[in-house]
Amino acid sequence: MSDPYDVIIVGGGPGGYVCAIRAAQLGLKTACVEKRGSLGGTCLNVGCIPSKALLQSSHHFEAASHEFASHGVKTGKVALDLPTMMARKDKVVDDLTKGIEFLFKKNKVDYIVGEGVITAADTVEVKPTSGKKQILKTENIVIATGSDVAPLPGVSIDEKQIVSSTGALALSKVPKSMVVVGGGVIGLELGSVWRRLGAEVTVVEFLDTILPGMDGEVVKQMTRTLKKQGMKFKLKAKVTAAKAAKTGVTLSVEPRDGGEAETIKADVVLVAIGRRPYSDGLGLDKLGVAVDERGFIGVDPDLQTNIPGIFAIGDVIGGAMLAHKAEEEGIAVAESLAGQSGHVNYDVIPGVVYTWPEVASLGKTEETLKEEGVDYKVGKFPFSANSRARANADSEGFVKILADAKTDRVLGAHIVGPAAGDLIQEAVSVMEFGGSAEDIARTCHAHPGLSEAVKEAALAVDDRAIHM
């Protein structure tokens, strides 16, 4: 048997592959076990990347159909070539997943294809799809097995008519009507893709609002904007059953707070009610690794499970189920294993919804600050008063900055608008350094730029926005 590894990572998603690369950079003998047959996990294969590829393509389609003419660009009748759009998306995924294989080679990470089972705190057995199983010895194990689609009782997913996000990324034709069950990030992004391509989209949400947990003003604005785009919403409603037939899917929907049930018909139903931790078949029971009642693996502040030498990161431990949160955790564990002080600042993890306009959220919302009794100030600036947004004809939305009333320290930032997902990064850096609204306000921003709206919102915290 060859020398044991310093660390074996089970799962090659953004948590696992980033952890592996960082560990190898730091001189640790590293292997990454992945059963999917390609690296990048949910994010690259069936999540972040294919959804963004389709969001971009469908955005172009909508712009060419409805917006180019106002810029003086004549196109004639715009036609959709869905197979080409899907093939482009597949190529983006393929190129990026292969890119990670290249990075593994470059950094000397052993990529082991197969299903990993942890049989002891120092042993991972790998079952390949064919051939003999391998037994690998290691000093440390990092579980980075991610998450899977959460099922909805009464509704069985066939990935054709009743689809999860995975099926919704690969429909072979545009449905005439689509019901999205769940008004969270994934439902709104994929609902937007198919609405832009021609489907009539209705979102059914159990809670009082879409985008639960986001700042109230953001939710209000996005509900209004998405409705204006043609998306319909059925809130406080519960889907209890779905029946697929040749003529479409019939959904049974009950008002959440009581009342008459109704049926809704749709060509395709997308179930997007969340994700559950994926730890099936890992052997956690036998090892005694502690998991909570929902299946999330428990970890201490160093991301170590209750079994010394076994760590867990990413979606499988819960918290914000986001690729960049998984990556931060992967780096923190790798650095701790190499004797450094790995650390994740969970207070400064941005969340982005890649609809158009985009939504970006960071830190506290106004609602949480009120709940916590924090004395805060608000600075808000609309994109309608930002010259670049006006020049681009993309002036919907606003930037909102929340700062401590006494110290002016930035406590949260919320953006609805063009490129919100990139603009939020300025607030991320400022919050990471414990900066104030005045720090943003006194920083020079290039003109004409969308980021000037961030500066103006920071000025507005102290009632001194210039262009309002």
Question: Which residues contact ligand FAD by CB under 6 A?
Answer: 10-16, 33-36, 41-43, 47-48, 51, 115-116, 144-147, 165, 186, 278, 281-282, 314-316, 321-324, 326, 354
CB of 52 to ligand FAD, least distance (A): 6
Compute the least distance from the CB of residue 295 to ligand FAD, in Å: 13
What does DSSP assign to residue 70?
A: G
- Does the active-site annotation cover 60? no
Identity of the residue, 275 or 414, whose beta carbon is nearer to ligand FAD in the bound complex? 275
Q: Are 252 and 259 in contact (CB under 8 A)?
A: no
Asked if 332 contacts 342 with a C-beta cutoff of 8 angstroms, the reply is yes
Distance, in Å, from the CA atom of 44 to the CA atom of 90, rounded to the nearest integer, reads 10
Of 118 and 403, nearer to ligand FAD (C-beta) is 118
Q: Which of 3, 322, 294, 283 is nearest to 115 (CA)?
A: 283
| Nearer residue to ligand FAD within complex by CB, 50 or 382 | 50
Q: C-beta of 7: minimal distance to ligand FAD in Å?
A: 15
Structure tokens that stand for 33 in this block: 């076990």
Which residues on neighbouring strands pair with residue 123, listed in sequence order? 120, 137
- Using the minimum distance from each CB to ligand FAD, give the nearer residue, 213 or 281: 281
Q: Which residue number, 16 or 412, has a Cβ lying nearer to ligand FAD?
A: 16
Region of residue 314 (left: phi > 0; alpha: psi -120 to 50; beta: else): left
Are residues 223 and 215 in contact, defined by beta-carbon separation less than 8 angstroms?
no
- Closest approach, Cβ 225 to ligand FAD, in A, equals 19
Helices (H), 242-358: 284-287, 323-337
Smallest distance from ligand FAD to CB 48, Å = 4
| Beta carbons of 10 and 282 less than 8 angstroms apart | yes
Residue whose CB is less far from ligand FAD, 187 or 417:
187
275-277 and 5-10 beta bridge pairing: unpaired
End-to-end C-alpha distance for the chain, whole angstroms: 71
Shortest distance, position 149 Cβ to ligand FAD, whole Å = 7
The CA distance from 421 to 240, in Å, is 35
The torsion angle over the Cα atoms of residues 46, 47, 49 and 55, rounded to 10 degrees, is 110
73's enclosing H/E stretch is none
Q: Which is nearer to ligand FAD, 280 or 375 (CB)?
A: 280
Distance, CA of 437 to CA of 151 (rounded, Å):
43
In the block, which residue shows the tokens 């790798």? 334
Among residues 66, 71, 343, 447, the one annotated as catalytic is 447
Contact 441, 459 (CB under 8 A): yes
At closest approach, how far in Å is the CB of 102 from ligand FAD?
18
Tell me which residue of 432, 303, 430 sits closest to 454, measured CA to CA.
430
For the annotated catalytic residues, the residue numbers are: 447
